[in-house]
Amino acid sequence: MNDASKKSLSEKVAVSETAAGAILTVDLGAIRENYRRLKARLGGVGCASVVKADGYGLGGPQVAAALAAEGCDIFFVAHLVEGVLLRQALGSRPAIYVLNGIQPGAESEAVEAELGAVINSVGQLAAWRAAAQRAGRTLKAAIQVDSGMSRLGMAAAEVEAVAADPQAFDGIDVTFVMSHLARADEPKHPANEQQRLEFERLRRMLPKAPASLANSSGIFLGQPFHYDLARPGAALYGINPMPAEENPMLPVVRLQAKVIQTRSLDRGAGVGYGHIFHVTEPLAAATISLGYADGWHRRAASA
């Protein structure tokens, strides 16, 4: 077997649209417009961008570059590896924060890539403080508190513990205190105000720093939730931040697939694996060039 035949089929190959079975088009201009729309709702409040999960599956570096061209200079990713790749793509200028925090043993890689850590626990705080000591310089961090979502962030008892420790933040530049809203897409739900008040209580115990609470839906809750920095994610990619209302965001993707065969089916014919669909009256059927490998979910086989 020669080297050419060993090439993985998953490697990127330049092909024409005619040769492709299906095409997903990402409209970076629409993403930029969505950023502008969100920013306009914030007045003078800062607007970061969440580009985790490879930019919600649309290409993290490409999406981030488009948003940077729109003026965004703060980005959030989920994992360290995403932050490293984003740093390589965007250069040294923007701030990049890792939402899940830096996993134990990976602190030096984060320091080398000039990434900011989102601190979600006392353990992560201690590890980042130790990393700053080893690096011999101050490291940036956003402190996340759990205001009621029960996912990531320091619990109230942890916040109280670090507040009582005068050395807790030695070597750490606290750039933001942040939290995350659980029900912001339900604007009248009392949990939103409950979380905001708990966020206020917890952040007062921590070093004075800009505050960040609003996600995509939180931006639409109004000025009391905006604070100093909003962190939209889903809305940038066209997902409706207020499902009960008309979507104010532009769609950013278009999926096109070719019809590769058509046939006429009579009453009683079975279609697909397990004959998941049965024909009840004569109809025309088309098979398109799109399947599980393209991201079509197996559970949607009967759709």
On whether the CB atoms of residues 85 and 115 are closer than 8 A, the answer is: no
d(CA 96, CA 80): 10
CA atoms in the 13 A half-sphere facing the CB of 91: 5
Tell which residue, 52, 62, 75, has the closest CA to residue 31: 62
Radius of gyration of the chain (CA): 24
Q: Reply yes or no on whether 292 is catalytic.
A: no
Burial of 286 (0-12, 13-18, 19+ CB in 10 A): exposed
Q: Reply yes or no on whether 188 is catalytic.
A: no
For residue 102, the 8-state DSSP code is P
Selecting among 52, 56, 227, 237, the annotated active-site residue is: 52
d(CA 56, CA 151): 20
The phi, psi pair for 285, rounded to 5°, reads -125, 145
On whether the CB atoms of residues 200 and 234 are closer than 8 A, the answer is: no
Selecting among 12, 188, 208, 273, the annotated active-site residue is: 273
Centre a 10 Å sphere on the Cβ of residue 41 and count the other Cβ atoms it contains: 17
Tell which residue, 138, 124, 116, has the closest CA to residue 48: 116
For residue 275, the 8-state DSSP code is G
Residue 182 tokens, joined: 């659980």
For residue 268, the 8-state DSSP code is T
Q: Which residues are catalytic?
A: 52, 273
